[in-house]
Amino acid sequence: MPLNTLEEIATYIVSEGKGILAADESNPTCGKRFDSIGVNSTEENRRDYREMLFRSGGMKGNIGGVILFDETIRQNAKDGTSLVDIISKQGALPGIKVDKGLQPLEGSPEESLTQGLDGLEERCDEYSKLGAKFTKWRAVIRIGDDIPSDQCIQENMQALADYAKIVQQSRMVPIVEPEVLMEGNHSIEDCFKATSRCLKILFECLNNNQVNIRGTILKPNMVTSGSLADIQAPIDEVANQTLKCLQTNVPSELAGITFLSGGQSDINSTAHLDAMNKIGGFDWKLSFSYGRALQQAALKTWLGKKENEQAAQEALSHRALMNRNASLGQWSSDQEKKIF
């Protein structure tokens, strides 16, 4: 089926339980991942690792989109096939991270503002020619003493809206990612308040910019306890609080919501998503856009060795299927008995 409109592209990415593989780690971040398994982060090794992921059998039917880094969208596989073509042949759409990272927020240096609006139109035009169908921009919001500030939320949400408008004018779907970080000892109530403030302002800014909401995907955090909090909210509370936050602040016409995992374990990120879809009662597709929570088992299995590639691909395929099942509200912990 040809995907000609923003609405068709956005809808396809989250159709039938499919979600997004986030493989847009910057080279320094990829270097840290590779350090953990004793592999040098060379361009060739990064290419081989991602090619291995993209050729996994479980991509087909479970992954609707793959977010790439600038280096990756330009790379060819060992046999000369572009990585973009490999992704497309798996039935997934290639996407691209377009922000330029974080800078300290003026007047509040413990907070940050995402950069990258300068030259964005030209970058989008190039990425579109390279095959990208969607894009991603991440804003980072921290919870702490007297933060997030109104200034931090307003400036980051406006930047997300400005980015989304430029991207849609380049005929690509924008993923807007207002991430309220798990890092900290805050309560689930603190996370609910911060996430609600962000989403309320984000959609005000998107509407003011006349962004096509039906051709937009939201990539939010789930509403959880801080990673260092003494009391961790149980799965059902995370599911209920996240849905309450979304239903209060997110318009029903949005194409889809693809959660980030944000430091949750593989199983928790799947279990929370499944719990929300079992509750139901919402108009959007609730799916996943996971990086580490999809890749970690594959990375630890691969170890940079060719003889481990098939087992690593099976590990990725298993996690992709588990999260597709969760997106349909059809996951159970019994399905996790296959150990890699």
Distance CA 65, CA 95 (A): 7
Cβ(281)–Cβ(15) under 8 Å?
no
- The rounded distance, in Å, linking the Cα atoms of 25 and 30 is 6
| pLDDT, tens digit (0-9, with 9 covering 90-100), for 152-167 | 999 999 999 999 999 9
Residue 276 has pLDDT above 70, yes or no: yes
Q: How confident is the model at residue 98 (pLDDT cuts 50, 70, 90)?
A: very high
- How far is it, in rounded angstroms, from Cα 71 to Cα 156? 26
Report CA dihedral (4, 254, 96, 22) to the nearest 10 degrees. -130
> Residue 340's pLDDT band (boundaries 50, 70, 90)?
very low
Which residue, among 310, 302, 301, 229, has the nearest Cα to 263 in the 3D structure? 229
From the list 143, 146, 123, 144, the residue with the least C-alpha distance to 135 is 123
Residue 337 confidence (pLDDT): 77
Give the pLDDT mean for 17-40.
Answer: 96
Q: What pLDDT is stored for residue 36 in this prediction?
A: 96
Note the pTM of the prediction, 2 decimals.
Answer: 0.96
For residues 114-136, average pLDDT: 98
293 in helix, strand or coil?
A: helix
Give the pLDDT score at 1. 52
Residue 131 phi, psi dihedral angles, 5° rounding: 110, 0
Measure the CA–CA gap between 142 and 265, rounded to whole angstroms. 20
Catalytic residue IDs:
177, 219
Percent over 70 (pLDDT), the chain: 99
- CA neighbor of 63 nearest in space, from 14, 10, 23: 14
Domain residue ranges of the chain, discontinuous segments joined by +: 6-329
Residue 339 has pLDDT above 80, yes or no: no
Cα–Cα distance measured from residue 196 to residue 219, given in angstroms and rounded to the nearest whole number? 14
pLDDT recorded at residue 78: 94
Average pLDDT, the chain: 96
d(CA 107, CA 114): 15
- What is the reported pLDDT for 3? 86
> How many angstroms separate the CA atoms of 334 and 30, rounded?
32
Is residue 44 predicted with pLDDT exceeding 50?
Answer: yes
> In angstroms, rounded to a whole number, what is the distance separating the alpha carbons of residues 87 and 93?
7
| Residue 4 pLDDT level (bands cut at 50, 70, 90) | confident
Angle at 318 between CA 313 and CA 319, to 5 degrees: 100
The CATH-assigned architecture of domain 6-329 is: Alpha-Beta Barrel (3.20)
Give the list of residues 6+ apart from residue 326 with CB closer than 8 angstroms, or none: 270, 271, 273, 274, 277, 288
- Compute the distance between CA of residue 190 and CA of residue 148 in angstroms, rounded to an integer: 10
Q: Which residues are paired to 74 by β-bridges?
A: none
Q: For residue 338, what pLDDT band results from cuts at 50, 70 and 90?
A: low
Q: In what helix (H) or strand (E) does residue 114 lie, and over which residues does it extend?
A: strand 108-114
Instruction: Write out pLDDT tens, residues 301-312.
Output: 999 999 999 999
SS3 45: helix
Mean pLDDT, residues 87-115 taken together: 97
Please write the tens of the pLDDT for every residue from 50-95. Answer: 999 999 999 999 999 999 999 999 999 999 999 999 999 999 999 9
Q: Residue 155 is encoded by which pair of tokens?
A: 């400036």
Mean pLDDT value of segment 271-284: 97
